[in-house]
């Protein structure tokens, strides 16, 4: 019980840290990319754990985070940002499931597959946000800005997912379950 409480506190503190770090990173981005989003990695984790229900949760969560008021959530830019954020991890997971022959329960998810998933999702998400910025908001993102966004997405996703894996492993170890996994 104590291990579960400590794990929960660790995850909450980790999420808080990621939100703070991402807020500073977003300050460096141009106007087309300064829309607050869920912390990097939350999208990946939600889709890994809950599949289509995770996509719905990420979509609704992004609408809430993106919308400063009700009108912002319902405009084309807000809806498209939410769709890009929600569907990039699902599309990445679907592609990698077929390419890497991952089972539906992801029991054979290796560290290499996880890194590939995060990279593909980062590329799709960055490309999608660039398209929204260009097509809907009329802004032309610079390559350097895209690379900063991609780096932040990939690094944030890996930190969060590896943090969750570490807490999971620690909790199993404290319970005496031991066991090993690649992640």
For residues 127-149, one letter each, b for 16 or more C-beta atoms within 10 angstroms of the residue's C-beta and e for the rest, the string is ebbbebbeebbebebeeebbebb
Written in H, E and C, the secondary structure of 23-47 is HHHHHCCCHHHCCCCCCCCHHHHHH
User: Going residue by residue through the chain (183 aa), what tens digit of pLDDT does each one get?
Assistant: 666 565 555 555 555 555 555 556 556 655 555 444 556 778 888 888 888 888 888 888 777 776 655 555 567 777 888 888 889 989 988 898 888 888 776 677 788 888 888 899 899 988 988 888 888 777 888 888 889 888 988 888 888 888 877 887 888 888 876 555 555
Using DSSP, state whether 175 is helix, strand or coil. coil
Token pair, residue 77, equals 């830019």
Question: What confidence tens digit (pLDDT) does each residue in 87-109 have?
Answer: 998 998 889 888 888 877 667 77
């Amino acid at each position: 019980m104590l291990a579960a409480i400590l794990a929960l506190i660790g995850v909450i503190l980790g999420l808080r840290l990621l939100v703070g770090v991402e807020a500073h990173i977003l300050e460096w981005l141009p106007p087309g990319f300064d829309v607050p989003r869920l912390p990097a990695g939350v999208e990946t984790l939600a889709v890994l754990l809950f599949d289509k229900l995770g996509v719905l949760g990420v979509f609704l969560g992004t609408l809430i985070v993106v919308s400063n008021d009700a009108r912002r959530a319902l405009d084309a830019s807000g809806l498209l940002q939410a769709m890009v954020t929600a569907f990039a991890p699902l599309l990445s997971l679907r592609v990698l499931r077929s390419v890497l022959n991952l089972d539906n329960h992801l029991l054979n998810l290796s560290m290499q597959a996880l890194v590939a998933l995060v990279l593909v999702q980062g590329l799709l998400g960055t490309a999608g946000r660039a398209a929204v910025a260009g097509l809907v908001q009329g802004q032309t993102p610079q390559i350097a800005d895209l690379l900063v966004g991609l780096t932040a997405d990939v690094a944030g996703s890996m930190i969060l997912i590896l943090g969750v894996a570490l807490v999971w492993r620690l909790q199993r170890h404290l319970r005496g379950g031991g066991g090993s996994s690649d992640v």
